[in-house]
Every structure is written in C-alpha cells, then in structure tokens.
Structure 1
Amino acid sequence: MSTTTTVTAPTDAELLRAAADHARHQDTAALLSALLPGLDGVELRALTDRCRFAHTALLVFPPDAGALRAMLAGAGLAPEAAARPSTVVRERLAVRHGRDAAELEVGILRPAVTGADGEQRVVEVFALTVPPGSGLAGLAARERAAQHEAHLGFEVRQPDPLLLRGLCALLARHGARPDGAATTRTRTGRCCTSRRRTTRRRAVRGSSCTRRATTGSCWPSTWPGTVPSSPPRCCCGS
C-alpha cells in the first residue's frame, strides 16, 4: 500500500517570519562565506572590512493594509505608518506579467531588526496588494513560487568608484554577476545578491545557507520553498 505526501506551499506570513529570523541570526562573515564559498581568508576579510549585511528582502501579497500590519506583527516586526511606493518593483512586475503598471499597487516597508552580531539591519518588505476578486491571484501565485524579488543586501562602507569596481570584480570572480537592479543612493553604497531562477534546496554542511554546488548560489536554509539555481547576481552602488 502506497501513500502520497502532500507538500503545502508556505504562506506569505511563514515566509516573512523566516526572513525576519534570517536577518536576526546571520552575520556578515558567515553569510558571505556561505554565499561565496570559494572566498579565501584574505578575500573574506577584505569584504567584511568594507561591507556589511544590511537586509533580507521579499515580496508579499496582502489583501489590504490591515492584513499586512498583522503579517508584520506576526513576524515580530514593527509595522510602519504606511508603505512607500516601490516604482522599481512595480515596473518589473508589470514587465514580467504583461500588466499595466498602474494596476499594481506595490509598497515597500523597511522594519528594523538587531542581528546576532549586534548590528542593526532591516527586513525589506515589498507588498503588492491583492484584493479578493482583483484578478491578481495568478500573478501572486507565480511570484510567490519564483521569488523573483527576494534577495540579500549588503551596504558598502565609505564607497568610492575604485572600491566599488574592486568589490564587483571580486564578487564576479567567485561566480556572482550583475543583476541590473536599481541602486539606492544613500551615504553608504549598496551591494546586493539576488536571483530569479529556482531549484530545490541543497544543504551545505556547517552552514546556515543553501547553495547549488556548481554555481555558488545561496539562499537561507531557514526559508521554506526554493533556492537559486543560477549564480548570485550582484549590484554595487554609491
């Protein structure tokens, strides 16, 4: 007699809780080592001296603002007064799904958490409002499965053009590639890794991340679902 096991896809609330836990429990050196396992000691020190793990990000699909606040509270994240519009993610969603961007209400919130190393970082939450009966349920299901917008972000300390080029060259040498994302112009540079294509998770012994052995891609092992199958993509900005 055979039995069939049904695997239930994680909910947005579960993914957000896992993302918040990941941001709280990681530190820069451990995360870079797992993300780019070919780094030697000198290279890892060069990276950790110049950049820090700044955020974990994902896209969720609440039906309304109240549901988003409840989701944030359930993950131990302080809900902000209101989300700011996220034009970049809205445009990418419109392109991927052949939609009019004006139909997509996408906001961004950045609730803060304290990491295991005592550093402050944020969970970058993109939220596409999907009201019941709006016709966006299919788009949300496809995005939830692919996790196109999920990524890990690193801030570059005291950036200058030479430093940013050097960091991008080092990351590229270990399998990362530019992701073409927009950069946030703040006092610190922004260097992030993200992914689009997915595969089943493969555990890395002694690591809190997962990766595909042939590419060096990485995704938090505490997150349900899928992980990248292509090299981690990197963007650096100032």
Structure 2
Amino acid sequence: MEEAFRAADLRRLDAVIRDARFAATASASELVAPAPHGTGAALTERECVFDHCAVLLFPTTLAAGLRDLRARGLDPLPTVPSTVVRARLAERHGLDPAACEVHITRLRLDLPDGRRHPAVEVFLFPRDSTAFEDRIAVHEAAYGFENHTAFVMPRPSGPLLRRLVTAWHTEAGLLWEGGGHNPHEGGRDGSTVTYFVREPRRPGRRRFELHCAGDLRGAIADLPRPTEAVRHAYATWPTTTGTPT
C-alpha cells in the first residue's frame, strides 16, 4: 500500500512537532524577537500565549492522510476547509481556487508543561486534488510559506491589539499582512485573526498569527497596510533549511 505522506513531508511533520514543543515552553517575546527592552517585548510577554505552529503537507488523499496521522498517535481533530490557504496557494501558483482542496486539522500534543493541546496546525492539500501538481509540493516544501507561529490574546481589546500591531512592526520588523473576523470561532462574538510576515533583513521566525476573541477589526482598520513591503518579503523569502517556522 502506498504511504500517505512522502518522506519529505514526514520530516517536515516531525520538525513542526518539535518546534511546537519548544515554542510551548519558550517565552512569547523570545519567539517574536522584538527589541528586548521595548514596548513590543513587554506587551508580547504579558499579553500573548503560544497556541500553535503550522505546516502544509501533501497526502495521497485526505482520508489516507488522516489515517496516517491517527496511526502515529497524533489525534487529529475533525477537518475544516481552509479558504485562506487555498486562496494563497492559488495566487502563488496560478491555480483556480475552486480546484484547490485544502483542509485544516489540529494535532493534540502532550506538551512539556503538562497540557494536552492542539499545538500543531496541519494544512492538507491532497495529491488527488484537481489542482495538485508535484511542482507545487516541491516549491512549498522548499520555502514553507504557510509555516507560522500563532498566539492568542487571553484579554483582548481594541486598543491593546492596535498597540501590539504597531510595536511588532517598529520593534520586531513584523509587517501586518491583513486578517479578518471569523464569526464561527471564539464564542458569541467570533474571533479576529491578524497575519504578520517578518521583514527580510530581520532574523527569526518568518510568519505569525494573532488570535483575539471578538470583532476587533475596527481598532486597526486605519493602520497602514505595507502591501509593497509584504510583497518584497515573500519575493526574498529564504529556503526553510535551518530556519525556524
């Protein structure tokens, strides 16, 4: 029987699991790496809690990939479609978004602090998808564009989110890519998610997500969106060899 995942995918899966275990015990400011004594470091340390690390994998089929993850004792949660990653893949590779079958699952890990937490987010783009091509898997594996580290804000507010987005930009070189509001997550008022990519000249993890309960879009709607800088960050993206996610 054909293996659900290729060897390169299994190596990247092992790497993201190791990274999630490390991130769960590291300080939030260590992961974001702002200026050590600035506002960003203090806000990050006080207001952000690690949630997950993420990776994109390419199983033979969705069902086979989930069976393989269960067989490895990784306890995948039920999948949901990924509209964001589907759109990003379609834009990068010139695909029809409707033909990109991308699903999300979370893997629950026993973390060093004693929690059993869904600390790994896996995007699954099955190789039997209409839009799949080997070149896509090779390119994505080499660059890891969907790798990221995610935090939640346990005590979210609009002013706090605005301060953090601004401080991450000025002190950690994190460019606000955008985001949105999901009314189906985070409780009665849904949740707000913001995405960040690091400027090429700055060392450290390349991408981050920040999740806040409620609809806080209005607090940052007037902040400048550095579209050209974000485009440049992806155009000069390093390969993933030896770099954290």
Question: What is the TM-score when the length of structure 1 is the normalising length?
Answer: 0.70
Q: How far, CA to CA, are the matches of 1:100 and 1:117 in structure 2?
A: 43
Residue 92 of structure 1 pairs with residue 88 of structure 2: yes
- Superposed CA RMSD in Å reads 3.2
8 Å contact 1:62–1:68 — kept in the other structure?
A: yes
Q: Report the 3-state secondary structure (helix = DSSP H, G, I; strand = E; otherwise coil) of the residue aligned with 1:179.
A: strand
| Partner residue of 2:97 out of 80, 85, 101 | 101
Deviations 1:180-215 (A, max 9, x none): 2445552565455556x9xxxxxxxxxxxxxx8x51
Task: Give TM-score, length-normalised by structure 2.
Answer: 0.68
- Find the aligned partners of 1:69 and 1:45 in 2 and give their Cα distance: 39
1:19 is matched with 16
Separation of aligned partners in 2, 1:179 and 1:133: 28
Question: For 2:44, what is the secondary structure of its paired residue?
Answer: helix
Which of the pair is proportionally richer in helix? Answer: 2
Aligned to 1:116: 112
Q: Secondary structure of the residue that 1:27 maps to in structure 2?
A: helix
Unaligned runs of 5+ in 2: 1-5, 214-245
1:69 is aligned to 66
Residue 60 of structure 1: CA displacement?
0.6
The question of 1:176 aligning with 2:174 is answered yes
Aligned positions, number:
201
User: Aligned runs of 1:50-61 on 2, under 5 Å?
Assistant: 50-61=47-58
- Relative CO higher for 1 or 2, CA cutoff 8 Å, sep ≥ 6? 1
2:129 maps to 1:142:
no
In structure 1, stretches of 5+ residues that fail to align are 1-8, 198-211, 219-227
Question: Within 2, Cα distance between the matches of 1:52 and 1:135?
Answer: 35
Cα distance per residue 1:56-106 (max 9 Å; x no partner): 0111111113431244246541133x4211111111111111111121111
| Distance of aligned partners of 1:105 and 1:134 in 2 relative to their CA distance in 1, 3 Å threshold | closer
The answer on whether the counterparts of 1:181 and 1:235 sit within 8 Å (CA) in structure 2 is: no
- Out of 87-96 and 173-182, give the one that drifted further: 173-182
Identity, % of aligned positions: 29
